[in-house]
Amino acid sequence: MLSPGDVISYLEMCAPFGVNLQRGMNYRIRDGESLILMSQRSGAPYQDRVEQGGRIIIYEGHDQPRKRGVVDPKKTDQPQFQPSGKPTQNGLFAEAARRFKDGIGPAERVRVFEKIRNGIWAYNGVFELIDSWQEKTGPRKVFKFRLQLVHDVPFSERLRGVSLEHDRVIPSHVKLEVWKRDKGRCVKCGSAKNLHFDHIIPYSLGGSSKDAENIQLLCARHNLEKHDAIQ
């Protein structure tokens, strides 16, 4: 089972859903689960951003597919409906946000994966979709979606009475800095498999998520050994 901070390959990301993920927005693709793929890397096609230390994601909607003879998608409004009248992914997510805001149903739960580099992704956890709107960006209108982290403190830490106020979300720029510094390998054994962004001083003991000096890459074995040793 994935935990926030796990680093996985593209194929490992796709496997639980049984599909090749070809788009960034995926509304209820399997067993009612929705997921989005985000990126804050230089040159990313959309303006995704995080706020409040990673607890809030402002996710940009997606353009219409690029087709021969069609106006540049970056110069046209992001679509809410397909030519057939069916909602696009923008439309599906926007409608889910509207239902929540109108009190018709619960917030849509969305799994969020973040691109670290080509073929490498970090699992950011489960977020709730709580708002959507359209805003003017240059000559066109784009969709924006507000997602809020669902706090899911591990059972072992609930037993120790860990407060939900601890900021355990690692910001995107810190993940990128740590990945480059540790060269995409476990700092203990050099393995490039089953990696996890680990807090050197646990956040439950006051360790910072915002300081790259307190974050390291560990493989699953060394991450487990470390947690087993914490009293």
75-105 per-position pLDDT tens digit:
999 999 999 999 999 999 999 999 999 999 9
Q: Residue 202 pLDDT more than 80?
A: yes
pLDDT confidence bin for 115, thresholds 50/70/90: very high
Count: domains in the chain: 2
Average pLDDT, the chain: 87
- 143 and 162 within one domain: no
Question: What confidence category does residue 181 fall into, taking pLDDT thresholds of 50, 70 and 90?
Answer: very high
Q: Does the pLDDT value for residue 184 go beyond 60?
A: yes
Residues 33 and 99 both lie in one domain: yes
Average pLDDT over residues 49-56: 86
For residues 90 and 188, state if they share a domain: no
Same domain flag for 160 and 132: no
1 belongs to a structural domain: no
Predicted pLDDT of residue 31:
84
Pairing verdict, β 140-149 and 120-137 = antiparallel
Q: How many CB atoms lie within 10 A of CB 84?
A: 6
Residue 148's pLDDT band (cuts 50, 70, 90) = very high
CA separation for the pair 38, 21 (Å, rounded) = 12
Domain that holds residue 165: 155-229
User: What average pLDDT does this structure show over 7-13?
Assistant: 91
How many CA atoms lie less than 13 Å away from 14 in the CB half-sphere?
12
Taking a C-beta distance cutoff of 8 angstroms, is the pair 76, 64 a contact? yes
Domain boundary among 97, 130, 149: 149
Whether the CB-CB separation of 198 and 178 falls below 8 Å is answered with no
> Do 87 and 160 sit in the same domain of this protein?
no
Of 38-47, 108-117, 138-147, 219-228, the least confident: 219-228
> Do 79 and 135 have their domain in common?
yes
Query: Does residue 145 carry a pLDDT above 90?
Result: yes
Q: At 213, which CATH number?
A: 1.10.30
Pairing outcome for strands 49-51 and 33-38: unpaired
